[in-house]
Amino acid sequence: MSDPLVRTHQLTKRFGALTAVEDLNLELAPGEVLGFLGPNGAGKTTTIRMLLGLARPTAGRASVLGHDAWSQAPQAHHEVGFLPAEFALHPRLTGLANLDHLRALRQLAPGPHEARAHELAERLDVELHRPLRTLSSGNKRKIGIIAALAHSPRLAVLDEPISGLDPLVQKEFHTIIDELRATGAGILLSSHTLPEVERVADRVAIMRAGRLVACARTDVLLGRALHRFEVTFAEHADAAAFTSQALPLPSVSYVDNEGAEVRFAVEGPVTEVVSALGRYRVLALRTPETELEDVFLRYYGPAAEVTR
């Protein structure tokens, strides 16, 4: 089994009395896309800064591509691609000139790098020969994506990559991510766009108040989500019987009744619910698709608790 591209052990960062990240244990395997979720202030950006050697851990350690993330950061940077949430390059230079400057800093040969940059520019539909200051925010974001990926990194750290991109370009970007993953590269994808994470991530890590509160395969987390049902009964009485706890199922988290239609959510397996509904004449049964957002809200709703 290949060694992880990223590994942290009790990684902690404090700013005075504020603990931004605490005891973070996380791994990213080759060929894996890890969705990194959490609202502003959860500790995602601080974690990324420590992984990139831009912030020194208060305690614990992190390794990136086999190198210590702080003391050996330059050795890792040659094979890391980074797209920050706030992306800025020289506004008076063209996209291509900015990319060539970054290539020179990495001491890479111009031929393959420029060819890959032009390929990505064509696929993302962005002009490389215009000054950055003349580009829209979406097109500047595309230049940022190219800057992060043109050197075919072994690890790509992407913070809000599809911000400002239209749906067609988003689709092409996801295809590029799939191709990069197929080469064995790892991708750490931080995003507030939950459908994007659900689309591309193999696993999801959720941060809250500096702590990792969940980390599992995307399908496992979706299995823990609330499964929503909308049922239309043949008669109003059947619906009333259902809502009056005639079907005492502990996994049913709420019931909303309107006439002969009942809406409810179930946590975990739904076998008992389906068997119970079989006792009634059901005219329609709808199950809206479970989304990663349902899982995320469980960890960020008013009743959510940070677990150690």
Angle at CA of residue 132, ends 175 and 74, nearest 5°: 70
Q: Do 92 and 150 sit in the same domain of this protein?
A: yes
How many Å apart are CA 125 and CA 148, to the nearest integer? 16
Burial of 308 (0-12, 13-18, 19+ CB in 10 A): exposed
Q: Do 102 and 196 sit in the same domain of this protein?
A: yes
Q: Do 12 and 155 sit in the same domain of this protein?
A: yes
Share in percent of the chain as helix, strand, coil (round to 5)? 35, 30, 35
Band (307; pLDDT cuts 50, 70, 90): very low
Please report where in the chains the tokens 């994470």 appear, as a residue.
Answer: 197
pLDDT, average across residues 16-45: 94
Q: Which domain holds residue 194?
A: 6-222
Dump pLDDT digits (tens) for 243-300: 545 455 556 665 667 777 887 777 666 777 777 777 788 888 887 665 666 667 666 7
Dump pLDDT digits (tens) for 145-195: 999 999 999 999 999 898 889 999 999 999 999 999 999 999 999 987 777
Q: Do 278 and 187 sit in the same domain of this protein?
A: no
Q: Do 164 and 240 sit in the same domain of this protein?
A: no
Q: Which candidate, 110, 116, 11, 108, places its Cα nearest to that of 56? A: 11
Q: Do 169 and 28 sit in the same domain of this protein?
A: yes
Q: Do 189 and 149 sit in the same domain of this protein?
A: yes
pTM as predicted: 0.78
pLDDT, average across residues 85-95: 91
Mind spelling out the 3-state secondary structure of 53-102? CCCCCCEEEEEECCEECCCCHHHHHCCEEEECCCCCCCCCCEHHHHHHHH
CB neighbours of 232 closer than 8 A, spacing ≥ 6? 260, 261, 282, 283, 284, 285
Do the domain assignments include residue 306?
no
φ/ψ of residue 284, rounded to 5: -155, 145
